[in-house]
Every structure is written in structure tokens, then in C-alpha cells.
Amino acid sequence: MNELKVNYKNGIITVDDITDFDVKHIFECGQCFRWNRESDGSYTGAAFGRIINVNQQDNQLVIENSSIEDFNNIWVDYFDLNRNYHEIKRVLSENDTIMMEAVEFGKGIRLLNQDEWETLISFILSQNRSIPIIKQNIEALCKKYGNNIGSYKGKDYYDFPSAEILAAVSPEEIAECRVGYRAPYIVKTAQMVCNNKILYNIKNLSVREAEEYLLSLSGVGPKVAHCIMLFSMKKYDSFPVDVWVQRVMKELYGLKTQKETTLFAKNKFKGYGGFAQQYLFYYAREKGIGKSNS
């Protein structure tokens, strides 16, 4: 892998000659919920207890409010900067005009490597809800239970509340964050994660074993388990099937059921299913594929 062309001056980190990277695609493809677009097109967000601002000019990535140590220790992995997406996209597009179009549409997507606890609770909250509401719920949860980690451009930021904190509150109180019937799922899952720290060790297990543990948690079914494995555990053969993915797979590949879709993806995309899923999800949601058209 090529060395990253990193510079650091006046508190601003730049990375030159970056490819297959688009902040809009990355932050708006549905994998994360805590990044918000600023008026200049950059994105500001909180992760791993830090607040950073991310922007790009052509092939230059610009990160503000980060130290070089944090860049090396956190953000290189978080933004998956050492992975060759050109090769992934080439393989997925081979002999497949559908994937070719989806990949072209979301060509700047990178799969973020997020915190597993935050990803777990975020996707429990995601069930049967739209992305804007999920973002609202998570912000409410962070503001109510997270630590204030500072302010940036006049706005206060809070980190994601720990399992210990959420295990100790009542579902009724959590429901004040407007999470509805998911409130008891959060408390039960937080308690299970506190009791056995298994969550933080399953990254190294096989997909089968990791999935088995995740499915034992309250509020986690197959779709949510695959999102957690894909977005926080580098399990790139995961293939979450939600309403959007099922719609686009029906529309474009003629797959009628979720079971058919899962089997098809496993056979077709090999180890790259997770990437394929994300290009397809972004394409479907942005274009409204299968909603009412055609």
C-alpha cells in the first residue's frame, strides 16, 4: 500500500492525492449518524471522544481540530485510508452493469471503522425508523447521557454514553429521548454488555460466531447484527438486508425475498458483499429505487 501523503501545519492535517473518497458519499450513505454537513460542504462530527471537521478539495483531504497523533491512531483506520477501493470497485463492477452504475454513483464511499458499542446501540435504534429521526434520537441520547467533550465553532458536542451508564438507567427515562419501544432493548443490551465484555472481543471471531453473540442481545436481529459487523468489525462479507436493499435487489436483480437476496449476495459478491451492499443502499435511497417509480 502506498504511503499516505500527510502534512500538518497550523493545526490542520492534509492528505494529498487521496482517491475513492468523497465526504458526501461517506457521511450520507447511511453507515453513520453523528456527522453533520456545514455550510461550506465540510462535515463535523464526534467519534471516539473527539470532535473533528472533515473537508476535501479535489484530491486533498483536510481534517481540522485533530492532532497528528489522533490522525495516526484513530482517523487513518476510521476512514479506512489504507484500503484499495479501486480494486474493490473493479471486482464488483466486473460483468455487472447494475453494480457498475451503483459503484459510479457512490464512488467516494468508504466503510468507516466505528466504535462497536456505539454502532450496536445506534442500529438497535434504527429499526423501523428513517435516518433523520435516528440521528435525532442518537443526539438526544448523547446530550442526556454522554460527556461534554468540548465545543467547536460555537456548538457543544457530547460523546456516546457508555454501556455502564445506559445499563443503570430505567427504560422509562431513556424513553424521554423519544426512542419509543426500543428503550428496554437499550437497557437490556447495555446490561448484557456490562456483565460479559464479550462485545469487545468478537471482532476476532468468525462471522458466524460474532453473529451468534450479537443475535443474543435484545433488539438485535439479522439485519442489525450485519450492520454492526460491517460498520465496526471489518466483517466485509456481511450483507445487511433492509427495506431499501430488498427493494433495489428486487428491482434490479429480480430477487423476491430477503432469503433469496442473502443467498444471491453471498454467492455473487464473495468477500466484498458489504461494500456492494453499501453502494447499492446509497444508490437506492438517493434515487428512490423501487419506492413508486417504474
119 touches DNA by CB under 7 A: no
35 touches DNA by CB under 7 A: no
| Comparison of 63 and 227: residue with beta carbon closer to DNA | 227
- The distance in angstroms from the start CA to the end CA of the chain is 43
Residue 25 CB, nearest distance to DNA (Å)?
A: 12
Sole window of 58-66, 122-130, 157-165, 203-211 interacting with DNA (rule: CB under 7 A): 122-130
| Comparison of 54 and 265: residue with beta carbon closer to DNA | 265
| 98, 133, 165, 192: residue in contact with DNA (rule CB under 7 A) | 133
Coil, strand, or helix at residue 49?
coil
45 touches DNA by CB under 7 A: no
Question: Is residue 103 a contact partner of residue 282, using CB atoms and an 8 Å limit?
Answer: no
227 touches DNA by CB under 7 A: yes
Q: Say how far apart CA 286 and CA 266 lie, in whole Å.
A: 24
**Concatenated DSSP letters of 241-262:** --HHHHHHHHHHH---SHHHHH
Phi, psi dihedral angles at 9 (to 5 degrees) = -150, 145
Taking alpha carbons only, the member of 73, 59, 81, 72 closest to residue 2 is 81
| 39, 95, 97, 128: residue in contact with DNA (rule CB under 7 A) | 128
C-alpha cell at 13: 492535517
Q: How buried is 82 (Cβ within 10 angstroms: 0-12 exposed, 13-18 middle, 19+ buried)? A: exposed
Residue 72 CB, nearest distance to DNA (Å)?
A: 27
Sole window of 28-36, 51-59, 87-95, 152-160 interacting with DNA (rule: CB under 7 A): 28-36
Helix residue ranges per DSSP H, the chain: 23-27, 68-70, 76-78, 85-93, 97-105, 116-125, 131-145, 163-167, 171-174, 183-195, 207-215, 222-232, 243-253, 258-269, 273-287
C-alpha cell at 292: 413508486
| Comparison of 194 and 243: residue with beta carbon closer to DNA | 243
Sign of CA dihedral 202, 207, 208, 213: positive
| 21, 25, 30, 106: residue in contact with DNA (rule CB under 7 A) | 30
| Comparison of 147 and 218: residue with beta carbon closer to DNA | 218
Size of site (CB under 7 A) for DNA: 40
276 touches DNA by CB under 7 A: no
279 touches DNA by CB under 7 A: no
Half-sphere CA count of 91, side-chain side, radius 13 A? 12
211 touches DNA by CB under 7 A: no
Provide the mask over 53-92, with x wherever binding to DNA is found by CB under 7 A and - wherever it is not.
----------------------------------------
| 54, 224, 255, 289: residue in contact with DNA (rule CB under 7 A) | 224
99 touches DNA by CB under 7 A: no
| 174, 187, 210, 220: residue in contact with DNA (rule CB under 7 A) | 220
Interface residues for DNA in 180-199 (CB under 7 A)? 180-181, 185
Q: Say how far apart CA 28 and CA 12 lie, in whole Å.
A: 24
Write down the residue that cell numbers 436483480 correspond to.
253
Contacting residues toward DNA, per CB under 7 A: 29-31, 123, 126-134, 175, 178, 180-181, 185, 217-225, 227, 240-245, 259, 277-278, 281, 285, 291
